[in-house]
Structure 1
């Protein structure tokens, strides 16, 4: 048995999802004529309480389009030091958007609006750069699937309104935050000017993300997407998988959360993780020789993600069953004894 816990991006389409892709009605999306893409964009926007949406190949692209809509070249985006936009998008904000970035220390993905407030820059002279927008990630990947508290997000919106700032959310795993917290997606969405949503992680689609915003911004986003090479033609075959995921795979994320917690609770006695920190589907690991542990586990069919010399993670997802968790625990506890 192979149990791949490296990421929730490794999932494969279910048989029913493949059938939906096969049956998809398609058109040329660059002309706005793909009905399946149009359905997805409208559905995602409605769920988040926004006017419109735009389908793109990846969450990195929708993040970059989103922040370019809010921050002009030479202006500043404020975000936390461990965020995906800053740590895992290969400098795209600077290279593609000409955006200056500055960060605060998030402390495990938690949001402290008082810290953010102190970090906001105002332009004091011609040689200073003013903060134009703030970006947050929910759930927080490197923080271990942390769900950002809705009250902190409301405070962040109030801060943004008070200081004349705009807000972007990297909601690659916002579905997990919604299921874990019970906060409606629209409650999250209405607090942000742009939101990026991913379908190829916990929802199990093979590819694709949607950016939601107001209609005027999404119209501008089409040009940015084209400039970045993201204009796709008969993209409905891909959007059909995301539509299927919206209809069938959101509520089942609760199963992934239960399995992640079970992994953490069983591994906690070995000193490699803390179960209390597991809120969604990510279990952070710390071990002095994680590379060796990972290699030994892989020999027995269990794949884990290595993030650094002594840091790693386990992610539960659509393709991880209870039997898979059993096997992973048998292998990992055997190696940790």
Structure 2
């Protein structure tokens, strides 16, 4: 039987946030209609606001970021056998069930992601197919970036880098999509408005249920013609919903109230990373912690394996994500307090050194 603990600190992901009272209240009184018919006022309000924030012509609410990315890729790669260039460590390539291939017939051509989440510009250009080889090659139509880059520890792509990729895409007649699941985290960390960070992109997907803390959903943004095609694909994929304004009302509150809390998430992540860096048995690059995601390695000299550490933390109410036999992920969010961070560090200290910890610190 699992040990009973008096507190839980859930650091598995920023997707575990619970709706706030303000969100629940907004859901209860949301003005709704049939969104498939295009008349849900709460959905329209959210989409209008997200288009404004991102500097794009139009927006569309979708049930998930995976669907948002899939729809975006399929709109840009509307012929089966098209090819998309994307990072070998990107979310679309690794964690989205290969949907662009299995559903869309789109061929992924991967380029190595650097530690900061970028791909070398010259390697991107080298991956673009020669159109003269159309009889034997897939046709390159799209480049995808991810900002912030989750598997690189939440690192942020600079506006200068994104602009350069955008220029490259235009040079070769390609489109640029940004998986901006945590684009607000990148915006806050870099001190640059979202619309400027994605200015070079033809489309962007923005998750509302990660750092922003909404219960459900993402938004994709782009030109009016892009969104018109996206709406058809959303229906095809089963993402057309009726009185979706109940969800959009909560998401609107999240956008209005929780962006300002992301800086605190980043600060707590840095405190936690710096604390872990002081402990023997842990290897962590503190400088790479730019937003709310932390990765660390369990050193071979440690008395514990990653699995044993995670199990010990679970017994003390600390939930983290084991990535491999030695790698662990931690993600901060707005429902993790500074007290939670200190309690987490004390539990790590006990696990790694045997120093006693008092539950409920």
TM norm. shorter chain > 0.5: yes
Distance 1:36 1:122 in 2: 46
| 183-192 or 212-221, which deviates more | 183-192
2:350 is paired with a residue of what secondary structure? helix
Tell me the residue number matched to 2:151.
Answer: 142
1:98 is paired with a residue of what secondary structure? coil
The 5 A counterparts of 1:262-301 are: 262-270=271-279, 271-287=282-298, 289-301=305-317
Which 4+ stretches in 1 moved above 6 angstroms? none
Tell me the residue number matched to 2:163.
Answer: 154
Length-normalised TM-score, structure 1: 0.98
**8 Å CA contact retained: 1:290, 1:310:** yes
Tell me the residue number matched to 1:163.
Answer: 172
Q: Whose radius of gyration is greater, 1 or 2? A: 2
Number of residue pairs matched by the alignment: 337
Question: What are the ranges of 5 or more consecutive residues in structure 1 without an aligned counterpart?
Answer: none
Distance 1:138 1:162 in 2: 22
Tell me the residue number matched to 1:202.
Answer: 211
1:259 is paired with a residue of what secondary structure? helix
Matched, 1:117 2:133: no
Tell me the residue number matched to 1:71.
Answer: 77
1:142 is paired with a residue of what secondary structure? helix
Deviation track 1:89-125 (CA, whole Å, cap 9, x = no partner) reads 0110001111000111112213432222222222333
Deviation track 1:265-288 (CA, whole Å, cap 9, x = no partner) reads 000133331211100000012115
Deviation track 1:48-99 (CA, whole Å, cap 9, x = no partner) reads 1111101010000000001111113210000001101000001100011110
Length-normalised TM-score, structure 2: 0.91
Counterpart selection for 2:19 from 7, 13, 16: 13
Distance 1:149 1:113 in 2: 13
Counterpart selection for 2:349 from 316, 328, 333: 333
Matched, 1:62 2:68: yes
**8 Å CA contact retained: 2:316, 2:347:** yes
**8 Å CA contact retained: 1:27, 1:33:** yes
Deviation track 1:113-145 (CA, whole Å, cap 9, x = no partner) reads 222222222233301113211001000010100
Matched, 1:53 2:59: yes
Tell me the residue number matched to 2:326.
Answer: 310
1:167 is paired with a residue of what secondary structure? strand
Q: After TM superposition, give the deviation of residue 16 of structure 1 in Å.
A: 1.2
Distance 2:325 2:72 in 1: 33
